[in-house]
Amino acid sequence: MNFKQRLLKELIFCSLSSGSSGNCYYLGNGFGSILIDAGISATVTRKFLKDIGVSIQDIKGVLISHNHTDHIRGLEVLTRKNHLPAYTTVNIWKSIFDRGINISRDCIRNIQKEERFSLAGFDIEIYPVSHDAPETIGFHICSGGKSITIATDLGYISKTAAGYIKKANLLIIESNYDEQMLLDGNYPYSLKTRIKSDHGHLGNHQTSEFLADNISGKLSHICLAHLSKNNNNPQKALQALKQTFSDKEVSLKGKYITVLNRNNPSEIIDLANQSTLRVSSKSL
């Protein structure tokens, strides 16, 4: 079986890019493939998909979390040139149109916060998160008995978000900034305050503390995501996680841990087989 056939047969996750410069995740299963967010240009999205053996024609739709540029940069072109249906709430659509972004009418799909829906064989639930956009949502996606929760762009982990995080086999969770780097850096005070606020982003220690206190037995893969370019680096994020677990005497044994690349595709995670096709050196 070649790599493309593998991708189309199993439950696969690959981050094409993750961070404050652009976010786009690929999910595939036996029925089809979807993207989550379109925060890198359409050209780069198509190239990165090609790099992992997937054609843009294989993608059945893109889910959009909110209207910030790092989540919708490629949306206008992907919908216009590739006729890719895009799914989000009425309020998020409004916030996208308010920014002057044109989306082909036939590509617009509305989803409701309270309802589950199916797309390309995935069973999808959305949940609200606290962030500084008019509306922001997270995703909990199931297929083939496995589930993935996406929890990025949130200032704090609400009870609702915590529930979805605890249900996941694969967790994509924000670890946006190192608290000391943000404090020492040259961002204006108002921006530092916004990032740290309940409507901003999760810091390394915030994420690590939550995970150490709430780690579930079913969680097999943790991907630290959406790292800041200026206020974080993969070593700091990973070290905070290891140190916090060690301090709290909680074991990470058997968990696959990685930090998603900011500007390149990540390793490919195959949940159906509970393995990775390209094993990261950051696996603990």
Shortest distance (Å) from residue 12 CB to Zn ion: 23
Task: Give which of 196, 267, 256 is closest to 228, Cα–Cα.
Answer: 196
Residues 225 and 279 sit within 8 Å (Cβ to Cβ): no
Which of 44/272 has CB closer to Zn ion? 44
Does residue 70 interact with Zn ion by CB under 5 A? Answer: yes
Task: Judge whether 125 and 139 are in contact, CB under 8 Å.
Answer: yes
Q: Residue 156, exposed/middle/buried by CB under 10 A (0-12, 13-18, 19+)?
A: middle
Q: What does each C-alpha distance from 267 to 4, 227, 239, 259 come to in angstroms?
A: 15, 16, 20, 10
Piece of the chain touching Zn ion by CB under 5 A; list 28-36, 91-99, 147-155, 272-280: 147-155
Number of residues this chain uses to bind Zn ion (CB under 5 A): 3
Q: Which is nearer to Zn ion, 70 or 209 (CB)?
A: 70
Using CB under 5 A as the binding rule, whether residue 153 contacts Zn ion is answered as yes
| Angle, CA of 252, 253 and 259, to the nearest 5° | 55
- How far apart (Å, rounded) are the C-alpha atoms in residues 2 and 66? 36
97/117 with CB nearer Zn ion? 97
Q: Which stretch binds Zn ion (CB under 5 A): 61-69, 82-90, 121-129, 251-259?
A: 61-69
One character per residue 2-21, x = contact with Zn ion (rule: CB under 5 A): --------------------
**Near Zn ion by CB under 5 A, which window of 69-77, 91-99, 154-162, 191-199?**
69-77
Q: CA-to-CA distance for 8 and 29, rounded, in angstroms?
A: 6
Using the minimum distance from each CB to Zn ion, give the nearer residue, 46 or 71: 71
In the set 68, 146, 221, 262, which binds Zn ion (CB under 5 A)? 68
Closest to 166 (Cα-Cα) out of 129, 217, 233:
217
Q: How far is the CB of 159 from Zn ion (least distance, A)?
A: 21
Minimal distance, residue 69 CB to Zn ion, in Å? 9
Half-sphere exposure of 242 (CA within 13 A, CB side): 13
Q: Which residues bind Zn ion (CB under 5 A)?
A: 68, 70, 153
